[in-house]
Homo-oligomer: A and B are copies of this chain.
Amino acid sequence: MDSTPVALRFTLPELTQLLQSKEEKPDTSALFQIIEETRSSRYDSVCIPLTNDKWRQRWHEMCIVEDETKPRDPSAEQKAELWRSGVVAFKREEVIPTTLDEATSIIGLASDWIYLDSPDEWVRHDSELALLQELAYANYLSISNVILPPPRNREHVASYARAVNAALGSLGYTSKTQLSIRLPVYYPSVAPKISSETVSVVPPSEKDIGTSWEIWDSIRSICDSNPRLSISLDLTPPLPPSATLLQRWFGEPLRHVFLPAASFIPNAKGYPVLTKATQSFIRDVVKLRPTIILSQVSAKVHTAGGSSSYLQYVRHLEKTSPAIVAQETEGTVENFSKGWHDWLQAPLQPLQDNLGSLTYDIFERCPAKYDQYEKAVCLALLDRPPNKPINIYVVGAGRGPLVDCSFRALERSGRKASIFAVEKNPSAFVTLQERNQTSWSSQVRLIYGDMRKMPLPPDNEKADIIVSELLGSFGDNELSPECLDGVMRILKPNGTSIPVSYTAFLAPLSSSKLFHEVRSRDQALKDAETPYVVSLQAVNILSGSGNESRSSTQCGPKIQECWDFIHPRKDAILDLQGFPITNSHNNRSVKLKFHIPTAGTLHGFAGYFEAVLYGDIGLSIHPDRMHNISPNMTSWFPLFFPLKDALYLPENSELHVSIWRLSDKQRVWYEWHAENFLPVSVTAPEPRSPPRTASPPPAPRHGATLRPTTPGATISPLLDALSPLVPPGSPSPPPGGRGGGRSLPQIGTGLTKSATTLVKIGQTNLHNPGGRSSWYGL
């Protein structure tokens, strides 16, 4: 197991003292000795400032006007101008590391007096030059991580971020140096009271915590999500009791976590431990493998345990992290997913492409899934009258795992049945023939061909049970609806499809990592039109449960149902051969409303599915239900629907997501779009005169829109446009299957009169494959 890296941080005074205590040797500098000693105490690296007080003093003398009322010393200004012009370099005694050997294990801290968001334009200007100079030096030494001082001024965060962006641009493409923004886990809205020994801090409000993230989001956005930019989260301020407020950091590029000794509390015996909230956060965050930066371990902040106890405690938390434990346990989804986290894969198109044996092999390695199939077939068999002949068709049999399931189900149920296996992949059909001879005693009737085109069997050979495994991560995305539609011709009138139905689910997510992965692809714009199969890890689901919403309209739960498909269709209009005339009935659309409790950046949507195989036997990758419905099933990672551009979602906003499943004769594809709203209180009622004297007449059954224009009327024929608009938030038809019944609209009765209105504040692009390649071929 790769363990979480841990670094030890030395402050400038600590380091100065230590350096003085060492003897310089010809081959081993004092600093290198300190680094070696630290590493031999099992730290992975050392976090130190790049420069010292001499540099601070020189910069200060040049660039800071001590007293504005006195005339400026022209020689200081002259010195500053010469420095700005680039003709003055660092002096040897102003910097701390100087050799490549030292630099290898260093996390560098840029000078903490660099004040990129000062209200003073000159201080900003000269801070930026100082930063560039320090970074150029770090880059020269190949120091791979430099941590920048935290932003301090919300008003000038754009200036801070612009300077960071310039710094990133100054590094050059071949540089190994990455920048990390030091960010307190929250900014207190009131100043802490500082006495000589202790700090008393007011517990943070939700807003304080949000501000920290909001500042980061501005910086990230201005730096165009530069992959070389990360966060160093500073846990110096005590964590709030509710760790859910920290979820947002899991979608962000978290590279370092500052954990000074002072943020540990003593346990009963005086040993340093962390508060419950911090324990829980650390246990969670280790799965993202940030470097934990300890500090002041030798400052005797705690009476027991000594300097090594902090590191030991962190290692203990890591070992008892549920995420890490699950990853280390054979047979779990977490164990299976190791190495696949946040890796984008194009979804399979088993209908269009014939799969290789290796792909089938991976599928078949999930015993949990086939256990469910076995149970489902067994239940379906038991629901059939005994002593009647039963035909089981395995359609899309592949290399035969569902044939195996069917045999096991027959044995388990004590029933008898004929088994047929249909497969269109000519190569897999060879395997089926071999298995029929070797494993199935030639009892299986093998049928070669596309299930949608197979010849109609005689009535007594029609199917009682059709078993298929055509589901994708979003249920229908591998075209199960279309394939099963095509094979329903061979099902007996009271026959059963396994699966009986499946449902697609969606949730909005934030993930810097996935956003960057999509954008860094060769054809970034095109590639943002395709959903991907991904094991979601560095991801934050942005939606809350709808009932937290303070707004007037009704939001649904955190993860919402899009639509479902049921087999066989009840309302099928078929041609003479039993085929659907069009695929219109497999088109779907839904509009979902998510409540966003805390601010976040929308990067896309997570797609999940849940299927009813038969009775109460199901398959699920819905995060909240998978462990109950189909535990340890590893066959599917979620689907990720990306966005081309990130969308900022403020706290307490409402995200209205439209997603469509569309098709034509050759293809099936998805389109998606979102609008974002914020409930805003209307303090004064809107003036409206004259008052409405009577209710409008009820709209005719089929609405004005389908009425022919009245001949000879003197009112404008465009008067339809005067019908009150159906406002957002009006009830939608419930999601689900498309029934045969459809009717014309009931026009809404007008806008809500509540004191809160939903104000639109943003939207995404429409994501659609256009005429391009990101659809699924029929």
Contact = CB atoms under 8 A, between A and B. Distances in A.
A314 B447 CA distance: 75
Interface stretch (A94-102, A353-361, A718-726): A718-726
Interface string A169-206: 10000000000001110011111111001110111011
19 contacts: A53-B708, A64-B742, A72-B741, A84-B581, A122-B738, A123-B744, A123-B745, A124-B589, A153-B730, A158-B591, A165-B768, A187-B722, A191-B724, A191-B750, A194-B715, A198-B715, A202-B690, A206-B686, A207-B757
Contacts of A611: none
Given A152-B705, A705-B113, A770-B169, A599 B760 contact: yes
A1 interface: no
A676 B218 CA distance: 11
Chain A residues touching B, range: 35 or more
Interface in A714-764: 714-730, 732-733, 738, 740-747, 750-751, 757, 759-763
B706 A113 contact: yes
A650 interface: yes
Given A119-B726, A692-B202, A745-B119, A721 B150 contact: yes
B82 A581 contact: yes
B678 A56 contact: no
Interface in A61-80: 64-66, 68, 72, 74, 77-78
Contact of A190 (B718, B724, B729): B724
B706 A64 contact: yes
Contacts of A346: none
A573 B688 contact: no
B121 A738 contact: yes
Contacts of A580: 81
A199 B719 contact: yes
Contacts of A154: 725-728, 730
Interface in A640-684: 645, 648, 650-651, 653, 656, 658, 660, 665, 671, 673, 675-676, 678, 680-681, 683
Interface stretch (A219-227, A329-337, A422-430, A458-466): A219-227
A586 to B, nearest CB: 11
A746 to B, nearest CB: 8
B202 A705 contact: no
A738 B741 CA distance: 71
Given A154-B728, A295-B717, 9 more contacts: A112-B705, A113-B705, A121-B587, A122-B738, A123-B742, A169-B771, A184-B722, A188-B722, A599-B760
